[in-house]
Amino acid sequence: MSPQATDQPFEGARVLVGVSGGIAAYKTCTLVSRLAQAGAEVTVAMTAGAARFVTPMTFQALSARPVYTDPFEHIESHDPQHVRLARSLDAAIVAPCTMNMMATLAHGFASDAVSLILSAVRMSTTPVLLAPSMNSQMWLRPSTQRNLNQLMQDGYEIITPEEGWQACRTSGPGRMAEPDVLLARLADAIRTTREVSGGGRVEEA
């Protein structure tokens, strides 16, 4: 049963943190740590690219839970598409959400652990937030903006990237929002969902 109190939105909440392959993955370590400290049950899923920036062992240590890295490896059950996990979540966030991950989700592919789990999330009852992170030229590219519009139409909540210094040694839009911003948006999403649902989590066999 999800907690009722709105002043502690993460206490007992089940949160999926998806990580795709961008340098901003280092910020996601802080996000996962803060969620765990706030009482959330955090499950991390990673793409192969993400594991080149931060190791799965790091997220396993921070979350105290197994990390999903392979869509064909069933680390907690014999559920081949991780439907049980997806439908038990209170919220999900992809941070960083790269240009490639935005395209993957916008076009309905489920080719990695992150997109596979999200494909089974019932978005009418479970908020899914995306925190884009990429070079400013990639962010402003027409294809990215088309995918952004499609994702919003599909019901994803977008945490708009910030302007600032980027790893490519330029400054502009595309910098992933800071962990405090991600936490605040997640908290708001969970509170809103509980108000609509009456505070309960619907679990399926």
Q: Alpha carbon of 117 to those of 44, 114, 125: distances in Å?
A: 11, 6, 15
CA atoms within 13 A on the CB side of 146: 7
Of 29, 75, 83, 168, the active-site residue reads: 168
In angstroms, the CA 174 to CA 136 distance is 5
Known active-site residue 97: no
- Provide DSSP, 24-61: THHHHHHHHHHHHHTT-EEEEEE-TTGGGTS-HHHHHH
Active site residues: 168
